[in-house]
Amino acid sequence: MTGHGEQMMASGLRILVADEDRAALERLSATLRDLGHTVAAYAIKVSEVAAKVVGEDPDASMVVLHEDDDHALALIEEIAAYASGPVIVLTLREDPEFVARAADRGIDAYARPETPDAVQSAIELALRRYAELERLETKVEQLEGALERRAVIERAKGILMERHGVDALTAFERLRTHARATRRRVVDVAREVADGVLQLP
């Protein structure tokens, strides 16, 4: 399965850029356009972030850090809550403590925006990480679904075993036979038995 981020790597992205410094905002926007991306640039307040992110639905979002760490962290947290793509921080200074705090708020990558290559590398790293997280979340959902299905089937088997005095294998065969006869999944039949909707003979 190819992740959302991996599919986008070869082509230009729609990137939302948030920065309280308008001059820096324009410089970064120009760099991103030179790299082939489409840019939605905003000198933005935290209260405006949700509407902008939802409205633009960007492939990636970037927050530029200057002096106001708290403002940048608030932007990161708000963007990460609404964005359907990765969040990247660009900072001109080395600040491991800030990066750690930003990671807790939801960033996928950070970089120093000194060269276009550095900016592009940060974008590609963020996309890879985001795609990996998507794959992991899909696997977790699949596992949770499998566990839930198993629990439903076990519950239905227990009901049939108690009701009809049969063993586990026979109970399962009754579920499967009914599922085949009605062209349905075993788990759907089991759910109806467990909920008391279906009384198997």
This prediction's pTM: 0.56
Q: Give residue 156's pLDDT.
A: 92
Which of 138, 161, 177 finishes a domain? Answer: 138
121 shares a domain with 41: yes
Task: List average pLDDT for each run of 10 residues in the chain, which is 201 residues long.
Answer: 43 81 84 90 74 84 77 79 82 77 79 81 84 79 82 91 91 88 89 87 72
Residues 94 and 167 in one domain: no
The whole domain housing 53 covers: 4-138
Distance of CA 86 to the CA centre of its chain: 9
pLDDT for 4 equals: 45
Q: How many domains does the chain have?
A: 2
Tell me, what's the pLDDT at 37? 92
Residues 41 and 130 in one domain: yes
Q: Are residues 127 and 150 in the same domain?
A: no
Q: Which of 96, 115, 138 is the last residue of a domain?
A: 138
Instruction: Compute and round to an integer the Cα radius of gyration of the chain.
Output: 25
Residue with the two structure tokens 């932007």: 75
Q: Does 147 lie in the same domain as 131? A: no
Residues 171 and 185 in one domain: yes
Whether 160 and 115 map to the same domain: the answer is no
* Separation CA 192–CA 66 (nearest Å): 59
* Torsions phi, psi for 4 (to 5 deg): -55, -45
103 and 175 belong to one structural domain: no
**Residue 182 maps to which CATH number?**
1.10.10.10
The neighbour count for residue 87, using CB atoms within 10 Å, is: 29
